[in-house]
Amino acid sequence: MNLFAGAGKQKTTDARQLLGRCTLLVVLSLAAVVAHNYAPDNTSGTGLMGTLAVLGTSIALAWMAKMGRWSGKTIVPIQMAIDIISVGLVAYFAGQTPGIVALIVVIGVGVQVFAWDFFRRNLLMEQDETLSQLRVQKARWEVRNIIDNIRSGLLTVDRHGMVIRVNPACCRILEMESQDMLGRKLVDICRGGMEELNDTICPVANGKTPVDRGEVLLKRMGRSIPLGLNVNHVTAPNGKIIGAISIFTDLTREKEMTERVRESDRLAAIGELAASIAHEIRNPLASIRGSVEMLDDDLDLDGDQAELMALVLKESGRVNTIINDFLAYSRMRPTSRRRFPGHEFKDEISLQIRQHIAAKGGRVHLHCDIQPEDMDVVADPGQLTQMTLNLVINACEAMKYHGDLHICLRLLAAGTSQELVVTDNGPGINHEIRHELFTPFATDKDGGTGLGLSIVQRIATAHGGHVRAEDAPGGGTTFRVRWPLVHVPEMSPGPVDSEEDSVITPVQTPASGSLENLLSV
């Protein structure tokens, strides 16, 4: 609307200028006609007509300048000069004496200067007014745009508690339409569970102390909505309080996040306590098992007594395995990625797997492959070995240590990540535990701890990757662990270069009857 008003004023100014110049042309034309009729001998009709033609040309030039948006700094002085010359020539061709002509020219110059100054001042005032209106309009638009796009709710009331302004976020948080709030008293809007909002805002509108970082609880549509809000005075130019403005935010997500953090802290404390208890249990358990093994060697038992002794050794070994797996899961060291040759990892992991299969008396055909053969692996060597052995032992137990086992470590086609694939031809994944396959202590194997795959997932996550289990095409199970490649310095004498890296805690099974093996885990 203001833009149209400014354009209308500019057209009015242009019309006045054109009317003034046309009036000058008419007056000079009448003066020329009168002079020629009363004193035809002392006047020049040709000169008068030529002068009037020049003045008409000046008016046409002004019109063309407006249409072509020419610069007024050039056109206006030319028009003024033409006007003064035309007035002087009309006087001269009308038979006036040189003194009269000079006087008329001087008067014309004075009139032009006065008109120029008048129109310049008027134009500048109109331009300033238009510019001010545009600035005000821009400021209002910016403020409205900010208010409409902030994620916090904004609600303004007058001293009588009448709602005079809301923004879209306010409507979304309160789950109401703007037309249902504007022009109504806040106390009426807040009936039915939102009274705390009214009790917080309206006192401030009546001059009470502003509220900083307050919190209210609304009950809306059968659920509770916690709001964090600030309420401040709205004042007139003279400083008088005329209302209140409230800015509030839905704290539901923040409350839930705080509760999750507290729950995580509580679980972390429980986990630390459990790890401490497990560590303390392991030492006396080792003593008990060692003593029982010594008694088993010294005593000649048979029948039920021999079965009970075997049961004690078996179950104590199982308890020890659970404790070791739990400690490995809860105390995993930070990941330290390195670059090392893939063929060295292949040779070392193949040797460890064959030794494990031989110790179990199994007949598993192992196929280990690196693609491409000269590929460098970027991972934590110890954790990669641990993850691979966990998957391999899980596969061997599923196949009961008889079958085919395929291991492939490859660089994906895009060259941005690496993938470890372990495939067996066992019975496949039990559908009853498929959805909780990587959940700690979830297992369907006799004597299993349910922590092997959980450790695999933790290692994959620590490398920025993920693990996925799927059914193999010819029967069995395939585990795919994929992690992104990152830049690490060129180094590596081999995949495992420290004693700590060489310990494969979660997959070792202490041999029955060996105290040394039990304590070495």
Q: How far apart are CA 195 and CA 232, in angstroms?
A: 18
Q: How far apart are CA 241 and CA 251, in angstroms?
A: 29
Helix spans in 69-97 (H):
72-93
Cross-strand partners of 477:
424, 471
Predicted confidence (pLDDT) at residue 48 exceeds the cutoff of 90: no
**What pLDDT, on a 0 to 100 scale, did the predictor assign at position 469?**
87
Confidence of residue 507 (pLDDT cuts 50, 70, 90): very low
Q: Give 431: exposed, middle or buried? Use CB within 10 Å, 0-12, 13-18, 19+.
A: exposed
Looking at residues 434-463, what average pLDDT do you find? 74
Tokens found for residue 461: 């996550």
Confidence of residue 20 (pLDDT cuts 50, 70, 90): low
Confidence of residue 230 (pLDDT cuts 50, 70, 90): very high
Which comes out higher in pLDDT, residue 67 or 515?
67
60-118: pLDDT as tens digits = 656 555 555 555 556 666 667 776 777 777 666 666 677 776 776 777 677 767 766 77
Looking at residues 411-436, what average pLDDT do you find? 83
Lowest mean pLDDT among 26-35, 156-165, 328-337: 26-35
Find which of 9-18, 47-56, 445-454, 481-490 is predicted with most confidence, using mean pLDDT.
Answer: 481-490
168-207: pLDDT as tens digits = 999 988 888 988 899 999 999 888 888 999 999 999 999 8
Tokens found for residue 8: 């209308």
Lowest mean pLDDT among 61-65, 156-160, 282-286, 448-452: 61-65
Looking at residues 37-42, what average pLDDT do you find? 61
**What pLDDT, on a 0 to 100 scale, did the predictor assign at position 57?**
64
Count of alpha carbons within 13 angstroms of residue 127, beta-carbon side: 6
Phi then psi for 398, rounded to 5 degrees?
Answer: -65, -35
**What pLDDT, on a 0 to 100 scale, did the predictor assign at position 45?**
58
Predicted confidence (pLDDT) at residue 496 exceeds the cutoff of 80: no
Tokens found for residue 306: 């021999």
**What pLDDT, on a 0 to 100 scale, did the predictor assign at position 315?**
80
CATH 3.30.565.10 domain residues, the chain: 335-511
CATH 3.30.450.20 domain residues, the chain: 151-250
Mean pLDDT of the chain: 76
Confidence of residue 431 (pLDDT cuts 50, 70, 90): confident
**Which of 116, 122, 6 shows the shortest CA–CA distance to 72?**
116
- Contacts of 424-427 spanning 24+ positions with Cβ under 8 A: 424/395, 424/396, 424/398, 424/399, 424/472, 424/476, 424/477, 425/399, 425/472, 425/474, 425/475, 425/476, 426/395, 426/398, 426/399, 426/400, 426/475, 426/476, 426/477, 427/398, 427/475, 427/476
What's the CATH code, domain 151-250?
3.30.450.20
Helix spans in 299-426 (H):
304-330, 342-359, 381-398
**What pLDDT, on a 0 to 100 scale, did the predictor assign at position 329?**
64
Classify 335-511 by CATH class.
alpha beta
**Which DSSP string corresponds to 300-326?**
---THHHHHHHHHHHHHHHHHHHHHHH
SS3 447: coil
**What pLDDT, on a 0 to 100 scale, did the predictor assign at position 446?**
60
Sequence letter at residue 185: K
CA-CA-CA-CA torsion sign (427, 431, 433, 437): positive
Predicted confidence (pLDDT) at residue 244 exceeds the cutoff of 90: yes
Looking at residues 240-262, what average pLDDT do you find? 90
Confidence of residue 520 (pLDDT cuts 50, 70, 90): very low
The beta strand positions in 440-476, using DSSP E, are 466-471
Which comes out higher in pLDDT, residue 452 or 158?
158
Predicted confidence (pLDDT) at residue 233 exceeds the cutoff of 90: yes
324-341: pLDDT as tens digits = 767 666 666 677 888 899
SS3 483: strand
